[in-house]
C-alpha cells in the first residue's frame, strides 16, 4: 500500500508551484463543474477527471501542468493519465485551495 501511495503522490521533492505558475504552467482543475463553480483558481481550466481522456487535446503538452482537485486524490489520477499520454511535466498540486496563495 505504501508503494502505491508513493507512486500516486511521488516521493521526489515537492515542486515549486509558485515558480511554475509564474512561468505559465497550466492549472488543470479536475473537479466537477459544480465544484469548480463554487470556487477555483484564477486562470485554471476545468476538465472533470471522468472527461479527461476525451479532452486531453485541450491541454498543451509543451508546458508544465499542475493538476488540482478538492483533496489530491483525483489530481493524482489525472497526473497519471496525463503522464501516460506523453505529457512530460505534470505535477499533482493537491487541493486547489493549497495553491490560492500563488494567485496574482
Indicate whether 56 belongs to any domain: yes
Domain that holds residue 80: 17-102
Averages of pLDDT over each 10 residues, the chain, 104 residues: 51 78 96 97 97 96 95 96 95 94 82
Is residue 85 classed as helix, strand or coil in its secondary structure?
coil
CA gap 22, 11 in Å, rounded: 24
Determine phi and psi for 46, rounding to 5 degrees.
Answer: -110, 110
The distance from CA 38 to its chain's CA centroid, rounded to whole angstroms, is 18
Handedness of CA 13, 58, 38, 78 (dihedral sign): negative
Q: How many domains does the chain have?
A: 1
Indicate whether 49 belongs to any domain: yes
Q: Whole-model pTM?
A: 0.86
Amino acid at each position: 500500500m505504501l508503494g502505491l501511495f508513493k507512486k500516486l503522490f511521488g516521493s521526489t521533492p515537492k515542486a515549486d508551484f509558485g515558480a511554475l505558475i509564474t512561468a505559465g504552467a497550466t492549472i488543470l482543475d479536475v473537479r466537477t463543474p459544480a465544484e469548480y463553480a463554487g470556487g477555483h483558481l484564477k486562470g485554471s481550466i476545468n476538465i472533470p477527471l471522468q472527461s479527461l481522456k476525451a479532452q486531453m487535446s485541450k491541454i498543451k503538452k509543451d508546458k508544465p501542468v499542475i493538476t488540482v482537485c478538492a483533496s489530491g486524490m483525483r489530481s493524482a489520477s489525472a497526473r497519471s493519465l496525463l503522464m501516460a499520454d506523453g505529457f512530460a511535466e505534470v505535477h499533482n498540486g493537491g487541493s486547489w485551495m493549497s495553491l490560492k496563495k500563488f494567485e496574482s
